[in-house]
Chains A and B, each alone.
Chain A
Amino acid sequence: MFTLYKLIRNLFKALTSDAAPWQIFLGTFFGTLLGFLPIFPLSQGPSPIALILIGLVLVINVHLGSVFLFLGITKLLSQVLHGPALLVGEQFSGLAQTCADIPFLHLSHWSHTGYLGLTLFGLVCAPLFAIVMYRFCLWFRVTWRDKLMEKARLLRAGSVVDHPWLVRLACWFFGID
């Protein structure tokens, strides 16, 4: 939980830092995908597509905090969604059979009804989460960051601000000095 907290804090710091929104967008996208995709199921072996994604995460200058945060969250989420993922995978058994005939996708476990369901969840969620994070980053930076900085300045000057403890907490959490 502490790790998750640290990850969330790092992410919010990134919102106030100089990380570009596209970095957060891609970080969220890759993190979500990696969270839903099987990376190395012990009984099935490593998934080449997941290894390629990890390589891309390392090489492309994406925001690693977002990657780790969404990887962690969606990994936990995928554990909870095993049942629905299996139902979806079984609905797409035709696609699973097609994937079985494509060696790269077969090795990436897309021919596995359970992992295919999770992958489909990932393919739907990754762009959604990425867009949400992108928009949130922009909105936060435009609407909140400057306001928060101003309130922090006033607090230091001894001025009275509404809910000072809330402002302090927010400044601490977002890493605004």
Chain B
Amino acid sequence: MTDVPAPTAPKPTAPPRAIRWWGFLVIFLLILATAVLAPWWLSSFLRAKIDTALASQGWELDPAHPLSISIYGARISGEDLTLRMIADQRVLMQAKRLSADVAVTESLQKRDLVIAELVADGVVGSLRRGPDGRPPLVAEEPVAPGAPLIDWKKVDWKANFQKGMDQYQEWQAKREADLKLPKDQPAPRPAPEADIDWPQAVKHQPAPTVGRHIPRVVVRKLSITGGKVPMPDEGPLDIASFSLTGSDVALRQDQGEVMLLKAEITTEGAGPITLDLTREQSGNGRLNFAAPTMPLQALSSPAIAGDSLAPWGPTGTAAITGAQTWTGWALNGTVEAQVSGLALQPTPGAPSEAKTAAKVIAALKGKPIRWPVVIGGTLTRPEIVDSGLKKVMEENQGVLIEAAKEEAKDKALEKGSQLIDKELKKHPEAEKAKDAAKDALKNLLGR
């Protein structure tokens, strides 16, 4: 029996250390790798989110020119961007250049998405109706089963504006109510969200707290310039070029914030238009607008005024200025038009009063008319408080009375002549005497 060495038993060693120092190095390397890979992952994630949001509206960005997202640079930018409809590939909007710089520190401090500067150049697009008559940026309204489909070719813009404003008012009232919940009333908890990876499970959402913060999007400095943007209906208000500038632009404003928005638009056939909006957080606001060379043909275009004005054939130029202020929802304002060179050229199918009015207006001989209109009501339902016609009459009293007299005289002469002809037909001798007098007059004029 040979001497066999004992199996190697574990040598007694010092007790293991509690800390593994290289673990820190591994964690450091993992953090480093995350820092390198996170921007790539995050930008892909954000791009996918943007694509999903656009797709939910039926739109897509041309994949040949995607948005570039710089996480560490806190910047979203792109060149030659094209936004189009997925269904028929119709181009909605194009931009030569777009950049948005996110104010990271302010965003983190305020828990909002604060964009320090949003610049877009060379923006062109089209708001023309699609084959179904629906303008491209208008979402399809959900229709109840059995309800008639919306005829987008007969859209009532006024009613749509009021509907949109009503919805906005409801939304704002609900938001205000949510933010100011009484302390003893628990806020309703949002419904749990389903998980696409585990469809049977749900993820509960945090209960809203009283006076909670709802993240918002604010643009500190906005600058958008662009070219042609055709309106839903072809007409003189089609945009030829525009610029939109603003500061502190937000749907929901913070304490003390004042939003300024200024639009300068050059239209295809209605001259330049400027809009200047100021809105305070308190709910007070002001809108000034000016259209210094608005052709009346443009205003009476069927695309703007329907069929009501076009048969009257108004011509001339109106210098329109408007100033409106509102406190809360109450609207207060005036629209003043300085109309020069006004004339009416009624079409053959125009109503008889159009012809009468044309004669009266002709007596003004293109003299400028000041026409102040007072507007009131609410932001959602603006109303004309004073049509300003009385003032127009007062200021042009003399001319209009003379014109009316002339018109009345002409009418009286026409009527009188008809009556004389009627009487003459009853007496042949008198008819003969009239013809003789006519011949004598002709001879006299012939000499």
Whether a CB of chain A sits under 8 angstroms from the CB of B422 is no
Find chain B residues with CB under 8 A from A133 CB: none
List B239-280 residues whose CB lies under 8 Å from chain A: none
How long is the Cα–Cα vector from A81 to B19 in the complex, in angstroms? 34
How long is the Cα–Cα vector from A28 to B6 in the complex, in angstroms? 32
A149 with B9: in contact, given A42-B197, A157-B4 (CB under 8 Å)?
yes
How long is the Cα–Cα vector from A146 to B197 in the complex, in angstroms? 50
Tell me whether B19 and A157 are in contact (CB under 8 A): no
> Within the complex, which residue of B2, B10, B198, B201 is in contact with A157, where a contact is CB–CB below 8 Å?
B2
Tell me whether B204 and A96 are in contact (CB under 8 A): yes
Tell me whether B16 and A61 are in contact (CB under 8 A): yes
Tell me whether A23 and B202 are in contact (CB under 8 A): no
CB distance from A53 to the nearest CB of B (A): 12
**18 contacting pairs across A/B (C-beta < 8 A):** A19-B16, A20-B15, A43-B195, A44-B197, A59-B23, A61-B17, A61-B18, A97-B204, A100-B206, A112-B202, A113-B203, A114-B201, A156-B4, A156-B7, A157-B2, A157-B4, A158-B2, A171-B7
How long is the Cα–Cα vector from A150 to B23 in the complex, in angstroms? 37
> Within the complex, which residue of A17, A100, A158 is in contact with B10, where a contact is CB–CB below 8 Å?
A17
Whether a CB of chain A sits under 8 angstroms from the CB of B157 is no
Find chain B residues with CB under 8 A from A113 CB: 192, 201-204
Find chain A residues with CB under 8 A from B201 CB: 86, 89, 112-115
List B1-36 residues whose CB lies under 8 Å from chain A: 1-2, 4-11, 13, 15-20, 23-24, 26-27
Find chain A residues with CB under 8 A from B8 CB: 176-177
How long is the Cα–Cα vector from A153 to B197 in the complex, in angstroms? 55
Whether a CB of chain A sits under 8 angstroms from the CB of B207 is yes
CB distance from B153 to the nearest CB of A (A): 43
Find chain A residues with CB under 8 A from B16 CB: 18-20, 23, 61
A176 with B198: in contact, given A60-B20, A61-B17, A61-B19 (CB under 8 Å)?
no
How long is the Cα–Cα vector from A146 to B9 in the complex, in angstroms? 8
> Within the complex, which residue of A42, A100, A177 is in contact with B204, where a contact is CB–CB below 8 Å?
A100
Q: Mark A150-176, 1 if CB is under 8 A from B, else 0.
A: 101100111100000000000100001
- Chain B contact residues: helix, strand, loop or mixed: loop
How long is the Cα–Cα vector from A58 to B23 in the complex, in angstroms? 5
Residues of A within 8 A of B (CB): 16-20, 23, 41-44, 55, 57-61, 82, 86, 89, 93, 96-97, 99-101, 103, 106, 109, 111-115, 146, 149-150, 152-153, 156-159, 171, 176-177
Nearest A residue (CB) for B196: A43
Please list the 5 inter-chain residue pairs (A to B) with the smallest Cβ-Cβ separation, ordered nearest first: A114-B201, A58-B23, A157-B4, A59-B23, A100-B204
Nearest B residue (CB) for A97: B204
Tell me whether B17 and A153 are in contact (CB under 8 A): no
Whether a CB of chain A sits under 8 angstroms from the CB of B205 is yes
How long is the Cα–Cα vector from A150 to B6 in the complex, in angstroms? 8
Find chain B residues with CB under 8 A from A99 CB: 204
Tell me whether A153 and B13 are in contact (CB under 8 A): no
Tell me whether B198 and A82 are in contact (CB under 8 A): yes
Whether a CB of chain A sits under 8 angstroms from the CB of B189 is yes
Find chain B residues with CB under 8 A from A159 CB: 1
Q: Mark B136-152, 1 if CB is under 8 A from A, else 0.
A: 00000000000000000
Nearest A residue (CB) for B24: A59
Find chain A residues with CB under 8 A from B7 CB: 149-150, 152-153, 156, 171, 176-177
Q: Mark B180-211, 1 if CB is under 8 A from A, else 0.
A: 00000000010010011110111111110000
How long is the Cα–Cα vector from A82 to B197 in the complex, in angstroms? 12
Find chain A residues with CB under 8 A from B195 CB: 43-44, 112, 114
How long is the Cα–Cα vector from A16 to B8 in the complex, in angstroms? 11
Find chain A residues with CB under 8 A from B196 CB: 43
Between A17, A42, A111, the greatest number of chain B beta carbons within 10 A of the residue's beta carbon is seen for A111
A100 with B1: in contact, given A44-B195, A61-B16 (CB under 8 Å)?
no
Find chain A residues with CB under 8 A from B9 CB: 146, 149
Find chain B residues with CB under 8 A from A16 CB: 10
Find chain B residues with CB under 8 A from A157 CB: 1-2, 4
Find chain B residues with CB under 8 A from A111 CB: 203-206
How long is the Cα–Cα vector from A11 to B294 in the complex, in angstroms? 87
Nearest B residue (CB) for A16: B10
> Within the complex, which residue of A55, A109, A114, A146 is in contact with B200, where a contact is CB–CB below 8 Å?
A114
Find chain B residues with CB under 8 A from A150 CB: 7
> Within the complex, which residue of B5, B17, B20 is in contact with A58, where a contact is CB–CB below 8 Å?
B20
Nearest B residue (CB) for A41: B197
Tell me whether A60 and B204 are in contact (CB under 8 A): no
A153 with B6: in contact, given A41-B197, A113-B202 (CB under 8 Å)?
yes
Nearest A residue (CB) for B198: A114
How long is the Cα–Cα vector from A114 to B195 in the complex, in angstroms? 10
CB distance from B22 to the nearest CB of A (A): 8
CB distance from B439 to the nearest CB of A (A): 104
Tell me whether B197 and A59 are in contact (CB under 8 A): no
Tell me whether A60 and B18 are in contact (CB under 8 A): yes
CB distance from B235 to the nearest CB of A (A): 48
How long is the Cα–Cα vector from A96 to B195 in the complex, in angstroms? 15
Find chain B residues with CB under 8 A from A44 CB: 195, 197, 203
CB distance from A137 to the nearest CB of B (A): 13
Find chain B residues with CB under 8 A from A176 CB: 7-8
Find chain B residues with CB under 8 A from A58 CB: 20, 23-24, 26-27
Find chain B residues with CB under 8 A from A100 CB: 203-207
> Within the complex, which residue of A57, A82, A109, A149 is in contact with B203, where a contact is CB–CB below 8 Å?
A109
How long is the Cα–Cα vector from A59 to B27 in the complex, in angstroms? 8
How long is the Cα–Cα vector from A152 to B192 in the complex, in angstroms? 62
How long is the Cα–Cα vector from A20 to B10 in the complex, in angstroms? 12
How long is the Cα–Cα vector from A113 to B203 in the complex, in angstroms? 6
